[in-house]
Structure 1
Amino acid sequence: EVLHLNILSLATGYFLNNFLKSYSPQVFILVESDRYPALLSVKVERKFIVNARISGQSFKFLRIFRGFYARFFNTFDKIICKDRESCAKFRSIGVNSKILTPCGNLKAVFFPKAGSPPVLPKGFVLVAGSTHKGEEEILLSAFGEIKKRIPSAVLVIAPRHPQRAKEVLKIAKMKLPTFKTLLRSQVFNPHFKGDILIVDTLGELLGFYRIANVTFVGGSLVPLGGHNLLEPAYFGKPVMFGPFVEKFRDLEKLLKELGLAYPVKGVGDITATVLRIHGKGVNPKGDLKEISERILECYKRELQL
């Protein structure tokens, strides 16, 4: 049995131990959190931190109070770090090297079950997933230019919030009135023969990523921090994204290592990137599926699962 517990940073050891007595857990696993002093007194057989990291701001704080936090972190049986740099930071504040292991970023452990989507666009397919207001206009402007060079190009837009689909449809028809644009719910023929498809259904985005030639992950051309950059990469697809991906910098780094990262800033970048990929293709430097499996096996080994 697994119990998921969200711990408030002000929670006391007394409260936590009283709560945990009700469940008598054998293993306590803390995910990512930098510090919770109350956990010093948590009484369980085995304690772990997984996907452990220390942010730059936290590192400065922890170094000031390194004596206390070294004692805190050394109460854990194992601290499994997301990378070697994180392990080095833990060591520098006095954490015992014997309990530190770099296994990789758990956010990269991703095994999607996605078949082909019910609707299959024909041609060179650009899929823009999890888009937000302000991004569709940029994508549509770029697509207008792309279509001049790649007549077979098809654009699939999946707004982050499906209830915006009709709004996006209206924008598309205003910007590109000569293009055939439909909502996904309006298409019953499995072979879509239009120019732009707006996804207003749930659960189909991964399927569209799977059949795409090039992808874009939204929330990144507007200051929203981005969304999961690895979803298209699992299928070996090139991933375009804007400058606002501060929530996913670690995944951006992994994406670059895989040779699938294509940062863009606007219409010109998107147009040029798509044309370049269409002409030259991509040369992935790794397989995300293999990386996911390797990271997962490391965690299983260290946690003795």
Structure 2
Amino acid sequence: MREAFLLWAYNLGLLSLSPLWLPYLFWRALFGNLKGGWRERLGFPPKGPRGRPRVLVHTASCGEVMAALPIIRELKAVLPEAWVGLSVQTSTGYEVAKKSRASVDALLRPPLDLLLPVWLYLARVRPKVVCLVETELWPNLVLMAGRLGARCLVASGRFAKTGRGALSRAVARIALSGVEKVLAQTERDAKVAESLGAEGRVEVVGNVKFDTALSPLSAEGREALRCDLGLEGGGPIVVAGSTHPGEEEVVAEAVARLKEEFSGLKAVVAPRRVERSAEVESIFRGRGLTVRRRTRLSVGGAGLSVDVIVPDTMGELARVYAVADVAFVGGSIAPVGGHSLIEPLAQGVPVLFGPNVWNFRDVAREIVLAGAGMMVRDAEELVEGLRRVLSDEALKRRMAKSALEIVRKNRGAAKRCAGEIAKWLREG
């Protein structure tokens, strides 16, 4: 009775706010990252096969897709007969999933979180389990799945932002009322989930993104990648990953100043959105630095000496961190919440980041406590942090060792999430 009331309250709220969200939805469908897949979004995905235990794994974009993939791989390892549908909301996330879908039986778009599309969608897929990854709490999807006999869980749940704001808390509370189990990343996430009504249904399993991290490249692999990126010469290398507007200027100032102190210093600067590559290139040229985009390295003079490389293709950053002597992770000076601090750690690279890391708050704290990295607030602190690491080889080695140890001891969350899903599928 309570779930039915919450379901109708949520949908009445959606209806009353439709003059606000409908134009935004159409704009994103035409010009934004919701292009394509509208047959599925309106409730008509391919039908799920009969005779196999079926799970629908629901994600939003690249980050959640990367978190979902190791869970799916572990699930297939313990229950190979399981049928796995992976739903991805954004176009960028969908492209990432297409490149990595070896363990996925069907790559789908999710339904709009409206009653009719959700009902039609679930009636065709007929999952036994619906797995929501990280923060994707969609009330209609969760509550309708329960009414159609599916069991719902949140895998690698992250609730740092969910706890902010009355509206987000209300939506999360409605969705969590239909969730049978929350597998949270941290104790902090577990406490927020419990405050939103999930008491007695929460377990801390860790952050699945530690399981997505690439294994460290060998010395030979790193050297080959340096040559491939046009970074020959033996000087120190700084990699700034997933940067946002305002952060490139900070990095450009730091690189320009440190080039005077460290002979042969080069930088790789990867903006969060590759379509900003030309803009980023211009920022560094404005500081008197020679810049070349990744896709143009073989055009107009191989072996051309450059100060800065701008990767302008998707999916390279996790591997590119391996060439770094020290890394800066973006979205952290800009008020975005931070991007993956785990990727450079996995390559044994000391990592610097800004104060806005609420998406990785516990990882950031562990990095600082273990001595694997440090927080910097502006260009001056970034210069000082980079200088400190690059000028002290013994310190850099200690930080690298600590980085690898953090990753080693935090692996295993994907197996725990997959085990819970497999248990439910076997129970029928």
Determine the C-alpha separation between the residues in 1 that align with 2:120 and 2:307. Answer: 60
- Map 1:175-186 to 2 at 5 A: 175-176=287-288, 179-186=289-296
Contact 2:241 2:272 in 1 (8 A): yes
Deviation (angstroms), 1:103: 0.6
Question: Given the alignment, which residue of 110, 117, 138 partners 2:250?
Answer: 138
Q: How many residues align?
A: 295
Determine the C-alpha separation between the residues in 2 that align with 1:69 and 1:268. Answer: 44
Structure 2 counterpart of 1:126: 238
Contact 2:355 2:376 in 1 (8 A): yes
The amino acid across from 2:208 in the alignment is L
Contact 1:138 1:267 in 2 (8 A): yes
Structure 1 counterpart of 2:408: 290
Q: Secondary structure at the match of 2:338?
A: coil
Deviation (angstroms), 1:276: 1.0
- Map 1:23-62 to 2 at 5 A: 23-31=125-133, 32-33=135-136, 36=139, 39=143, 41-44=146-149, 46-54=151-159, 55-57=162-164
Check if 1:151 corresponds to 2:258: no
- Map 1:106-125 to 2 at 5 A: 106-112=208-214, 116=222, 117=225, 118-121=228-231, 122-125=234-237
What does the per-residue CA deviation read over 1:247-272, in whole Å, with 9 as the maximum and x for residues that have no partner?
A: 44354345445543422122211111
Determine the C-alpha separation between the residues in 2 that align with 1:53 and 1:167. Answer: 33
Over the matched positions of the two proteins, sequence identity in percent amounts to: 26
Q: Secondary structure at the match of 2:255?
A: helix
What does the per-residue CA deviation read over 1:88-128, in whole Å, with 9 as the maximum and x for residues that have no partner?
A: 4555677563x432111234432337764322523111011
What does the per-residue CA deviation read over 1:39-79, in whole Å, with 9 as the maximum and x for residues that have no partner?
A: 1742325432323355434799979xx9x999x35x62x33
TM-score, normalised relative to structure 2: 0.57
Q: Give ranges in structure 2 of 5+ residues lacking alignment.
A: 1-82, 88-108, 424-428
Question: Given the alignment, which residue of 177, 182, 187 partners 1:84?
Answer: 187
1:51–1:84 distance in 2 versus 1, CA, 3 Å: same
1:213–1:192 distance in 2 versus 1, CA, 3 Å: farther
Determine the C-alpha separation between the residues in 2 that align with 1:85 and 1:171. Answer: 39
What does the per-residue CA deviation read over 1:121-163, in whole Å, with 9 as the maximum and x for residues that have no partner?
A: 2311101122233322221221222122221321222233344
Structure 1 counterpart of 2:350: 238
1:128–1:104 distance in 2 versus 1, CA, 3 Å: same
Contact 1:110 1:234 in 2 (8 A): no
Structure 2 counterpart of 1:302: 420
Is 78-87 or 143-152 further displaced after alignment?
78-87
Determine the C-alpha separation between the residues in 2 that align with 1:50 and 1:254. Answer: 22
The amino acid across from 2:256 in the alignment is G
Determine the C-alpha separation between the residues in 2 that align with 1:186 and 1:17. Answer: 48
The amino acid across from 1:219 in the alignment is G
Structure 1 counterpart of 2:84: 2
Determine the C-alpha separation between the residues in 2 that align with 1:196 and 1:58. Answer: 41
Structure 2 counterpart of 1:101: 203
Contact 1:105 1:295 in 2 (8 A): yes
Q: Give ranges in structure 1 of 5+ residues lacking alignment.
A: none
Determine the C-alpha separation between the residues in 1 that align with 2:304 and 2:194. Answer: 56
Contact 2:347 2:404 in 1 (8 A): no
Determine the C-alpha separation between the residues in 2 that align with 1:52 and 1:60. Answer: 19
| Higher helix content, 1 or 2 | 2
Q: Secondary structure at the match of 1:123?
A: coil
Deviation (angstroms), 1:274: 0.9
Determine the C-alpha separation between the residues in 1 that align with 2:302 and 2:318. Answer: 17
Question: Given the alignment, which residue of 148, 165, 168 partners 2:277?
Answer: 165
Deviation (angstroms), 1:30: 3.0
Deviation (angstroms), 1:35: 7.1
Deviation (angstroms), 1:167: 3.7
Contact 1:226 1:244 in 2 (8 A): yes
Check if 1:187 corresponds to 2:289: no
Determine the C-alpha separation between the residues in 2 that align with 1:226 and 1:243. Answer: 9
Contact 1:34 1:52 in 2 (8 A): no
Contact 1:258 1:287 in 2 (8 A): no
Contact 1:87 1:101 in 2 (8 A): yes
Q: Secondary structure at the match of 2:286?
A: helix
The amino acid across from 2:139 in the alignment is Y
